[in-house]
Each structure stands twice: as structure tokens, then as C-alpha cells.
Amino acid sequence: MDIFFITLLLVGLAVVGLGVSVFFTKKKKFPETHVGSNKAMRERGIRCFLAADREERERACDESRSR
């Protein structure tokens, strides 16, 4: 039973620790981590896999139609 309470305490501390920026800032929002919406990723030229895959599939489909 002691292990359960220790684990519960550690998980609670982790949640509070990870949420400090959300709980104690005016934004009240988690940082955007999705590649397509992340400004730093776009600046580095890193694109969202789903968007890149969709564009490649459309390009391949267009090329096969033009043959």
C-alpha cells in the first residue's frame, strides 16, 4: 500500500512539474508541439509528415494521369 501512495505522489509531482508553465502563466496554454504548427520547426524547414505525404501522393497521382 505504501508503494501505491509513493507512486501517486510521484505522478502528482510530475503533472504539477510539467504543468507549471500552464498553471502559473497568463497564456494558460500548453506549447504547440505539432510539427505543422510549430514556428521553430517551420523555420528549420521541417514539415509535417502527413502534409508532405499528401503532397507526394497528389504529385504521383498527377504524374500517372499525364502519361
Quick one: average pLDDT of 6-34? Answer: 81
pLDDT at 11: 96
Mean pLDDT of the chain: 83
Domain boundaries, the chain: 1-31, 32-67
Interval 35-42 mean pLDDT: 79
What is the signed CA dihedral for 30, 31, 36, 41, rounded to 10 degrees?
A: -170
The pTM assigned to this predicted structure is 0.41
Query: What are the cell numbers at 46?
Result: 521541417
* Phi, psi (rounded to 5 degrees) for 16: -65, -40
Are the C-beta atoms of residues 33 and 18 closer than 8 Å to each other?
A: no
In the chain, how long is the greatest CA-to-CA distance? 70
